[in-house]
Structure 1
């Protein structure tokens, strides 16, 4: 069979399903008409009449279904359902197509079986009514399915657009300060400057990969990215920044939205170390609690002026970005709470989420306290 013809004709299984559906509808309509005009009580004596009814119903079903499917295909291609006028046009054209197909089926049956096919107006009115109702119900379900598919596609497109926008948010102040730190180290400590460049490169490679995948990563991968970030910031703050990471090994495979932990740590460095003259400890801890992952990012800085999350979300895009990512992936099942000295996330533990493997990072040049 030529390729073009093979693409047009339905597959064997699909054709068998359609034929079975048409036959089933024909049996139901034929039995209904037999009950109306003859009565099911006379079935043993007049069963050939039932078979004739099913046969004629099958012819009508083939004509009408074929006509409606062809009409719907043309209408969907020429008149997209984007307004009430388009919907009204679809309904009107389908009604005309149904009446025309009914007339053609009637003429076909009369020509093919002139002696056994009755054209009494009572029979035609009843069969036409039944046919129109069945067609109307079938068309309604077909259009509802079409609307549902388009709604799912629109929601998926909106979700991807929102996720892409969130992934694209990179703090320019961090990048500016990192370059300043590198420039200051190049002359005095070139080896350390090279290590900072490598850490910065690894961090942005991870962020770039996060913009291409499904949006999920392991907690272990997030922790490694955070260590790169803290290593870069320690080149700026030196001994004033003390980093502590306490993430149990059995939780490092837990799936979390990518680029979720780093904005929280960045916020801790900005409001903790950045607003403190002395030493400041930034800690990242994780634990399992009632089937959820409790992730805390704390600092020993001056703390927040308020624990009202809504007040803090308006001060920058970092925390708002994290909360929106949690809502996209987990809905109301994930929680974000503001603590006096940091942020706590409560994330459902899902073992079946597809995540990308952890990146192969070299160890950062600056030592960090990390408890297993």
Structure 2
């Protein structure tokens, strides 16, 4: 970037000088004087760049003094070179008797060098600011990803605890075949969980497949007491959703609804798209109607809390997570997120 700006800047300086020479009706040889003057300025400012790098971390007052002195010395050298070239080529070897004439126009060149120095520091500080901003964004992104992974991985021990307890119970009552089937389903479910990064999003169709692996495990526990219906529109099946977003909702319904019912427990999963938003619902027919007044916050379980935290981390303010009463009894969990199509 430095070299591109250096070349373009001094070519621009030469162009402005050339326009001025047209107004003054100079001879065509003056074009060579202009190019040599611009080339001289180009060469003189290169050491200034490396010198400024050396004093970059100096105190501000000292930095200003050094920049002023450096710009003045560079301007004086440039003026001597420029004037010598001008007199040698344009005035056919004219030599002024007073050497101070070699410093003619050095004040103008001092302002040019100061402008060059100012632009150098402004661009350099801007680059450093952008680098710091990029580092800050990367740090925030890493913290964000760590938070999402932590929330997701908190679900696995909770789920494993319940499943292993169920397997242990089946073994104790000599239901070895059922226990073996549950272990097989559990291994498939864990394989799916490990193969899908909690940071990435997957299609709702794949998420439903993962949910069915989990439900196959639970159906071995509850047999005919658990009935599941799925109503997902084709448009919604292609939507991107956070991986393993439905499993904690289903687990919550089983724990607080199906497990407490003597009759058949029903879980309904609905998915539809409306006005560029994906609506997901998980309904159950629990023994009592859900009421936020009667259910304490800590009774919602780790799964629902972590689900809401994951949605907040992924979508910011562009999501909705609501619990309401089902008709006539039970609970409805509704998630509304932006509709994004999976490739």
Alignment of 1:273-284 (within 5 A): 273-284=258-269
CA-to-aligned-CA distance 1:72-112 (integer Å, 9 cap, x gap): 9xx7xxxxxxxxxxxx7586786577567647755875786
Question: How many residue pairs get matched?
Answer: 318
Asked if the contact 1:272/1:303 (under 8 Å) is kept, the reply is no
CA contact (8 A) 1:63 1:102 kept: no
**TM-score normalised over the length of structure 2:** 0.77
The answer to whether the aligner puts 1:329 opposite 2:314 as a matched pair is yes
Q: Greater Rg, structure 1 or structure 2?
A: 2
Residue aligned with 2:266, SS: strand
Matched, 1:115 2:105: no
Task: Give the whole-Å Cα distance in 1 for the aligned partners of 2:25 and 2:289.
Answer: 86
Return closer, same or farther for 1:246/1:54 CA change in 2, 3 Å cut-off: same
1:65 aligns with 2:49: yes
Q: What is the DSSP-based 3-state SS (H/G/I as helix, E as strand, rest coil) of the residue aligned with 1:347?
A: strand
Superposed CA offset, 1:11-54 (max 9, x none): xxxxxx6543211112344567899xx78843755555543442
Query: What does residue 40 of structure 2 align with?
Result: 56
Quote the Cα distance in structure 2 between the aligned partners of 1:203 and 1:257: 16
Q: Equivalent residue of 1:333, what SS?
A: coil
Q: Which runs of 5+ in 2 are unaligned?
A: 87-101, 326-330
Worse overlay, 141-150 or 112-121:
112-121
For residues 219-298 of structure 1, what are the structure 2 equivalents within 5 Å?
219-298=204-283
Given that 2:252 and 2:301 are in contact with CA atoms closer than 8 Å, whether structure 1 keeps it comes out as no
User: Which residue in 1 is equivalent to 2:24?
Assistant: 42
Q: Is the 8 A contact 1:333 1:347 kept in 2?
A: yes
Provide closer, same or farther for how the CA distance between residues 33 and 218 of structure 1 changes in structure 2, counting only shifts above 3 A.
same
Q: Contact between 2:203 and 2:239, CA under 8 Å: does it hold in 1?
A: yes
Change (3 A) 1:92 1:239: farther
User: Please, which runs of 5 or more residues in structure 1 have no aligned partner?
Assistant: 1-16, 76-87, 354-372
Distance 2:217 2:319 in 1: 30
Question: Which SS does the other structure have where 2:121 is aligned?
Answer: helix
Identify the residue that residue 340 of structure 2 maps to in structure 1.
350
Question: How big is the shift at 1:182?
Answer: 1.6
Residue number in structure 1 paired with 2:93 = none
